[in-house]
Structure 1
């Protein structure tokens, strides 16, 4: 019988990567950027111009290679694409020792 192991919701943590939280946030931001670009039918060259990034960086980001791109740059990309971005800091529940970083799209 095959055992099924349920993931944590963060593939990077499941793989044991040390920067799993940051990688998940970047993956979510990159996916949103990609979906906006796709909906606008932009070429990577047009996207690069709109985002203020070289085309190879855009290509890499859209393929999940975003280690060289900061979260701040990705947030700037969303703003350049006409999205408002809010960063909300609040106290974590007492049941949790540490806070967490979460991306919510509305």
Structure 2
């Protein structure tokens, strides 16, 4: 059996950019925010129904966030959900040392 050599490629801090996805920075920010929403809901132990009641967001939308189906979500809407969970979102914009592009990071 012939062994194929794998090429190892170091990725950036944004997997969406690495695969050439359009709007990579926006997609990464939305993924970070939705990941934090999932973490908070898991720590609270809330069902989708309870999360819907507490956040004012439809239960189907909570399900979509959990399934990483973020096409219909804006950054603004994800921030609103975090605000409804009593969290504040801070966005930091700084030059990216590895590229000439600007890196955007959010912390909750």
* TM-score calculated relative to the size of structure 2: 0.82
Give a deviation string over 1:23-45, Cα, whole Å, max 9, x none.
00000000000000000000011
Matched, 1:103 2:106: yes
Structure with greater strand percent: 2
**1:54 equivalent in structure 2:** 58
What value does the CA root-mean-square deviation take over the aligned residues?
A: 2.2
Superposed displacement of residue 97, structure 1:
4.8
Give the Å deviation of 1:88: 4.9
1:38-77 paired onto structure 2 within 5 Å:
38-77=42-81
Aligned position for 2:26:
22
Q: Which has the larger radius of gyration?
A: 2
Structure 1: which 5+ runs fail to align? none
- State the Cα distance separating 1:4 from its structure 2 match: 0.8
Q: 2:8 aligns with which of 4, 13, 21?
A: 4
The aligned length equals 104
In structure 2, what is the Cα distance between the partners aligned to 1:67 and 1:85? 21
For 1:83, the equivalent position in structure 2 comes to 87
Using the TM superposition, name which of 78-87 and 65-74 deviates more.
78-87
- Alignment TM-score, normalising by the size of structure 1: 0.83
